[in-house]
Amino acid sequence: MKIGIVGYGNLGRGVESAVQLAGDMELVAIFTRRDPSTVKVASDAPVVSMDKLDEMAEDIDVMILCGGSATDLPEMTPQIAAKCNVVDSFDTHANIPQHLAAVDAQASKAGNIGIISVGWDPGLFSVARLYANAALPKGDDYTFWGKGVSQGHSDAIRRIDGVVDARQYTIPVEESVNKVRAGEHPQLTTRQKHTRECFVVAEEGADTKAIEEAIVTMPNYFADYDTTVKFITQEEMDSEHSGLPHGGSVLRSGMTGVDGQFNNTVEFSLNLESNPFFTGSVLTAVARAAVRMNAEGVTGAKTIFDIPPYCLAETPREELIAHML
Amino acid sequence: MKIGIVGYGNLGRGVESAVQLAGDMELVAIFTRRDPSTVKVASDAPVVSMDKLDEMAEDIDVMILCGGSATDLPEMTPQIAAKCNVVDSFDTHANIPQHLAAVDAQASKAGNIGIISVGWDPGLFSVARLYANAALPKGDDYTFWGKGVSQGHSDAIRRIDGVVDARQYTIPVEESVNKVRAGEHPQLTTRQKHTRECFVVAEEGADTKAIEEAIVTMPNYFADYDTTVKFITQEEMDSEHSGLPHGGSVLRSGMTGVDGQFNNTVEFSLNLESNPFFTGSVLTAVARAAVRMNAEGVTGAKTIFDIPPYCLAETPREELIAHML
């Protein structure tokens, strides 16, 4: 399968690496809006200007889109779906139906498939929720994120006066997770689900009390959480907090029996040393499914809910059934 | 959807209950090889002799087969697949390819679908392994079962001279599970993965030392495990050990990055108060998928690997995408 990558940030690097590890894939090109001569990539794939995408699209089986959900993907995914099969990681949950419709219009017309909102949430977490809900129609869903770095929250701290660098970890409240696991079906407030731990490098002479206050009272981002703030040096930041770990758990606690007499807990958990590399790896598996499904005549906008799982694996279906079922 | 159940043991009761809870299903009949007048069921569904199955099959959208894997299903599933869409829980892992072929021959010819080996293992555990392997092609798989009742092991104890009743719990070794979760990629022996806890009611005056010895040295079943045996009264057995709880965890610990520099752990866990009721609930969700897939022209023998997940849920696809993705 001939693969193209569009966009080369952390996620693009993760996809590049996953494609290199796949025995059935060839990385044809990495497309960038920057001057290609300034983009140094980890593989020996050619870096090509976005202007060349249209003419190269016909030699590519699927394009893996590694732009951001805020502004890149809403434009980029429908546009490129008109030229080629695509996979993206659009993760603005509230706008998924709208994005699906926009991609569907272009992909259907062109006879391509566009699989959107792929990664782990949305993505593997979503499909875990779906299996758990199908098996336990009566019950309660819970999602806990972390321990992991939230880039949005880290950026929010960096915008505060006097802050040089910041890293924010989202941490699930263990006591609440255990209540769910124990089948207690708790009703949890925002504060009871997650805490937020912030590491901050301040400018020399900055008012750290004022910075801490600005963080913990910040609406939406921190005010509803128990937030701790630690000031550290840039050296500590670089040596201790340079990774992008993440993860979390999807749980469903639900009843079987006509009278709901049996409680059951289904849990799906991820513990990832690198969020973008894992997300890139999921996108790559879904890109394989996109090519296979399109070859079988499937067109239009799809999600992970539409993919027969065997299509994701390099191993052939018969072998999966014999050895993994 | 019109549902038939074939066989009415613990699993049949679980399916019956799950079908009653489904808003889109109607339980048309429960088929039995016993004299129907002797079978008392929990719902108001008619109990019908197996002899009537052929003539009633055309009014049923899917038949959920609740027989045993040893002798019932290898004969029953292909036979009934020639008449009707079917779903079964065939769980003799080594014979799955052979069973798939036998069901495929009959189902394909008749234009029906037969989804085999459905439940949690094989079933949800299998599909969890598949997603984890697709996302992490480089890595190690681990499956831990329990804490839960193994009916095969309980039966093996009951066959020992002087034993009146027995219940065997399979228990994962927590220390080993934690090593896997910590990304240590351990190589685990049989003994390091599970322990076995046995509760036994002995005949009055029986030689309990001899019974214990017969249990812990029993090849295949117990000899390779750390096994504990406790003798209890029938009253204790009935009050403390009448349930059929089970569960377990599928873990994959795998690397991302071309040099395998990032470790990641994917875990899928179940904690079930009633194994047969949960398994019945999964079979029922898959029965829904069978009807939908067959209506879209899919025929032949399939597995959970072939099912687009959205087909499993009562909730329509658009709603799943809007609210669960």
DSSP code string of B224-283: TSEEEEEE--HHHHHHHS--B-EEEEEEEEEEESTT--EEEEEEEEEEESBHHHHHHHHH
Contact yes or no for A256 and B18 at CB 8 A: yes
Through-space distance between the first and last CA atoms of chain A, rounded to whole angstroms? 26
CA–CA gap between residue A76 and residue B148 (Å, rounded)? 50
> Locate tokens 């049949």: which residue?
B12
CA–CA gap between residue A216 and residue A223 (Å, rounded)? 6
Chain A residues inside the 8 Å CB shell of B303 = 321, 325
Task: State the DSSP code for B9.
Answer: S
Note whether A49 and A7 are within 8 A (CB).
no
* Global model pTM greater than 0.90: yes
Percent share of chain B, pLDDT over 90: 100
Chain B residues inside the 8 Å CB shell of A291 = none
Q: What is the pLDDT of residue B24?
A: 98
Nearest CA in chain A to B138: A21
Q: Is A95 on the interface with B (CB under 8 A)?
A: no
Q: Is B126 on the interface with A (CB under 8 A)?
A: yes
Between positions 130 and 159 of B, the ones with CB within 8 A of A are: 130-131, 133-138
Contact yes or no for B21 and A258 at CB 8 A: yes
Chain A residues inside the 8 Å CB shell of B100 = 321
Chain A residues inside the 8 Å CB shell of B314 = 137
Q: Is B268 on the interface with A (CB under 8 A)?
A: yes
Which stretches in chain B have pLDDT values below 70? none
CA dihedral A128, A132, A133, A138 (to 10 degrees): -150
Q: What is the pLDDT of residue B316?
A: 97
Q: What is the pLDDT of residue B56?
A: 97
Contact yes or no for B262 and A270 at CB 8 A: no
Q: Is B19 on the interface with A (CB under 8 A)?
A: no
CA–CA gap between residue B172 and residue B99 (Å, rounded)? 30
CA–CA gap between residue B33 and residue B49 (Å, rounded)? 6
What are the backbone dihedrals phi and psi of residue B41, each rounded to the nearest 5 degrees, phi first? -110, 165
What are the backbone dihedrals phi and psi of residue B153, each rounded to the nearest 5 degrees, phi first? -70, -35
Q: Is A316 on the interface with B (CB under 8 A)?
A: no
A265 vs B93, B133, B271: nearest CB: B271
Structure ipTM: 0.97
Q: What is the pLDDT of residue A278?
A: 98
B303 vs A268, A305, A321: nearest CB: A321
Q: Nearest-CA distance from B147 to chain A in Å?
A: 13
One-letter amino acid identity for A65? L
Contact yes or no for B277 and A256 at CB 8 A: yes
The beta strand positions in chain B, using DSSP E, are: 2-6, 26-32, 47-49, 62-65, 85-87, 113-115, 139-145, 148-149, 163-172, 194-202, 226-231, 246-256, 262-272, 300-302
Q: Is B98 on the interface with A (CB under 8 A)?
A: no
Nearest to B11 by CA among B94, B103, B109, B89: B89
Q: Is B93 on the interface with A (CB under 8 A)?
A: yes
Q: What is the pLDDT of residue A170?
A: 98
Contact yes or no for B264 and A273 at CB 8 A: yes
Q: What is the pLDDT of residue A41?
A: 97
Q: Nearest-CA distance from B66 to chain A in Å?
A: 17
Rounded to the nearest 5 percent, the helix, strand and coil shares of chain A are: 40, 25, 30
The tally of CA atoms less than 13 A away on the side-chain side of residue A88 is 31
Chain A residues inside the 8 Å CB shell of B17 = 256-258
Which stretches in chain A have pLDDT values below 50? none
Contact yes or no for A96 and B269 at CB 8 A: no
Between positions 156 and 195 of A, the ones with CB within 8 A of B are: 181, 183
Q: Is B22 on the interface with A (CB under 8 A)?
A: yes
Which of A92, A256, A267, A318 is the best substitution to test chain B (most B C-beta atoms within 10 A)? A256
Q: B43-64 pLDDT, tens per residue?
A: 999 999 999 999 999 999 999 9
Contact yes or no for A263 and B280 at CB 8 A: no
Show the CA angle centred on residue A100, arms to residues A95 and A102, nearest 5°. 100
